[in-house]
Structure 1
Amino acid sequence: MVPRVVFGRGSFASIDTILMPKRRNSEAPFIYLVDAFFEGTDLHTKIPLLFDDQIIYISAEEEPKTEQVDALVAKLKADYTELPSGIIGIGGGTLLDMAKAVALLMTNPGSSADYQGWDLIQRPGLYHVGIPTISGTGAEVSRTAVLMGPEKKLGLNSDYTTYDQVILDPNFLATVPKEQWFYTGMDCFIHCVESLEGTYLNAFSESYGEKAYDLCKEVFLGDIPKLEAEEKLMMASWHGGMSIAYSQVGVAHAMSYGLSYVLSTKHGIGNCLVFQFLEEFYPEGVALFNKMMQKHNISLPKGICANCTDAELELMAKIALGMAPLWENALGPNWESKISKEDLIAIYKKI
């Protein structure tokens, strides 16, 4: 679990107080990895740079890649004579996962691709702080940093991945475009559905999952003021991330990994594209999802897979079926007898 968290409007202003005790010396900087969306805004004036601290803007247009993490780690090691005091990620799931991965690879040898899997990280990473600017992914609280690798899309899942400190400031959510707000919020909703209906469910994950599920229904089906909705969605993301930390996601996430790997589909919309066709697995969740889309006038893109070759569809299915823990959570220990490559390809063809 994240050991320290600050919540509230304007709480980003506390970052100076939070970081100062963690600065080892003037030669050990803090590195801020910030969504390129904020480049040219006044955010940089609110970041307390000292000595050799650095802001690095990173585009979130594509999913974070292992080669991108490796290149950034190599640059930081070349630029500084000693390890940074910490890594601060400011942005959505892409930037939050990138910051976690960079913090880990600064202290663990080799490529980030070597650690795609479960509990492969052997050493604690650098001190790292997560500051989400959009809510839904749960990346601020999860024990994984999901990366696109040369052979698979898979997280660096470990107890060392979790952030040391998180700052939850709902003021950041004011800048989120409507469709992105919806797709990322649905990532949280789908987390909850998959966790609550999974075979890994336990009392701990259920308590968090139920709270996040109810908050998502308030935000996306209720009529509450915008500021209240922002705060509740931020907490839904937190609780949803905690729920899957003690259980697992399921069919939609496994299949969205296939979409992302082959077509570079972003995670939030990828989950939505898949989830709409999963009535067989999550009938109640899909029905609510359709109501949420209707209420917010969201129309999902069509024909995403229309021009995919047989080889591309096969690869999507292979990537998806490679996520064994997700399938076991969704279908039980004998999941391989309940789902096939052909079943997945048939669903992909509908997208």
Structure 2
Amino acid sequence: MKFKNFPMVPRVIFGRGSFDQLEEILAPKRDSEKAPFIFLLDDVFKGSPLEQRIPLYGKDSILYINSLAEPKTSQVDAIRDRIRHDFETLPSGIIGIGGGTVMDLAKAVALMLTNEGSSADYQGWDLVKHRAVFHVGIPTISGTGAEVSRTTVLTGPEKKLGINSDFTTFDQVVLDPDLTAGVPLDQWFYTGMDCYIHCVESLTGTYLNAFSQSYGEKAQELCNEVFLGNSLPDEDLRGKLMMASWHGGMSIAYSQVGVAHAMSYGLSYLLGTRHGIGNCIVFNQLEEFYPEGVKHFRKMVDKHGVEIPRGICEGLGDDDLDTIINVSLGMVPLWENALGKDWQHVITPQKLRGMYEKM
């Protein structure tokens, strides 16, 4: 048996106020005055105090990212082309500051600056040939695990699928819980549930091993404290959820996600449904596969008074449903983790159609 030698983020700093060490972290990585750092910043922070704290020097530049839509391969290629056009040399690094969308874009752009063609050419497993430029992830919301994973999930012209490679992982991550203050309740909940669902899918999957189990169990414990526990100071909740996101991401890095993610990719591809809320919509209907996980999920929903949308597939025609189903069925490792190598005997196109029609 051959074991996969997965990469890990080599350097991470955690703590309230740790963002202020960014200048110190970046200084040794600056190649020259002509090689800037490019900061991809969620545009909700445009003109904010956080933007003013970004350590800009020389030709360093901020590119504002609208994160209302899921990241696309065309968006990655456009950012890559703009950087190549505007600067005479490769940048010293790409720094993503924002949620999962910005994290994924930062990883993908860093890869595409050193690999030719379109990012759509690399959607899959271990297709990337060359190491990315230095890249840093700084999450401003917790739950996606994008800060630690070896994938960058993108919607392409034909599918929604990650660039999964050993070169995708960030070189440095800055985990500052203070950056997640002020996130709206619904967004905080949907993104946090992405982490919780990671744990359920990892811990019940056929790919489970002692490594992924240890991270998944800790992440699930932290999610329960945050979403079902007694009241804690906001700063403690932010730190716990940030650690849950990290541990949840590590758990699926060494195993895989499952039914909820496989089905939510179909919703996102056709309807543009955001990842966190898409997972919640799907997971709410998955008692057949995750009875205990769904039971606790619904307790969390009730406790925080969050609405899970229903009826999003109403009125879809046969062609649209076929598209969603085909995208979902293409997520083979996810289905195999959830149901084993004979998963196709359980999940047929007809079965999936019936499940989507309930959403």
- Please give the range of the TM-score, normalised by the shorter of the 2 chains: over 0.9
1:197 aligned onto 2:181: no
1:31-42 mapped onto 2 (5 Å cutoff): 31-42=38-49
Matching of residue 170 in structure 1 with residue 188 in structure 2: no
CA distance in 2, matches of 1:152, 1:161: 19
The superposition leaves residues 281-339 of structure 1 with CA deviations (integer Å, 9 ceiling, x where unpaired) of: 00000000000000001111221111211111111111000000000000001111111
What is the rounded CA distance, in whole Å, between the counterparts of 1:273 and 1:192 in structure 2? 17
| 1:78 counterpart (79, 85, 92) | 85
Aligned length: 351
1:304 corresponds, among 303, 312, 318, to 312
The one-letter code matched in structure 2 to 1:349 is: E
Q: Partners of 1:45 and 1:319 in 2: how far apart?
A: 41
Matched, 1:319 2:327: yes
Give the alignment of 1:1-351 within 5 angstroms. Answer: 1-223=8-230, 224-351=232-359
Letter of the 1:214 counterpart:
E
For residues 182 and 62 of structure 1, the distance between their equivalents in structure 2, rounded to whole angstroms, comes to: 18
TM-superposed deviation, 1:225:
2.2
- Displacement, 1:37? 0.8
Amino acid at match of 2:288: E
Cα deviation, residue 44, structure 1:
2.1
Aligned partners of 2:182 and 2:124: how far apart in 1? 34
Deviating runs (4+, > 4 A) in structure 1?
none
Identical pairs, percent: 65
- 2-structure distance, mates of 1:314, 1:221: 38
Q: Which amino acid aligns with 1:82?
A: T
Cα deviation for residue 121 of structure 1 reads 0.4
Partner of 2:5: none
2:3 maps to which residue?
Answer: none
- 1:174-217 CA-to-partner distances (Å, cap 9, x unmatched) read 12100000000000000000000000000000000000000000
Could you tell me how far apart the structure 2 residues matched to 1:131 and 1:174 are? 14
What letter matches 1:255 in structure 2? M
- Letter of the structure 2 residue corresponding to residue 251 of structure 1: V
Q: Which amino acid counterpart does residue 226 of structure 2 have in structure 1?
A: V
Aligned partners of 1:51 and 1:267: how far apart in 2? 36
RMSD of the TM alignment (CA)? 0.6
- Farther off after superposition, 34-43 or 180-189: 34-43
> 1:163 & 1:222 partners in 2: Cα distance?
32
1:256-283 Cα distance to aligned partner (Å, 9 max, x none)? 0000001000000000000000000000
1:345, CA displacement in angstroms?
A: 1.1
For 2:207 and 2:109, how far apart are their aligned partners in 1? 30
Which deviations, in whole Å up to 9, do the C-alpha atoms of 1:58-78 show, x marking residues without a partner?
Answer: 100000000000011011011
Deviates more, 1:41-50 or 1:103-112: 41-50
How far did 1:42 drift?
A: 1.9
- Name structure 1 gaps, 5 residues minimum: none
C-alpha distance in structure 1 between counterparts of 2:21 and 2:126, whole Å: 33
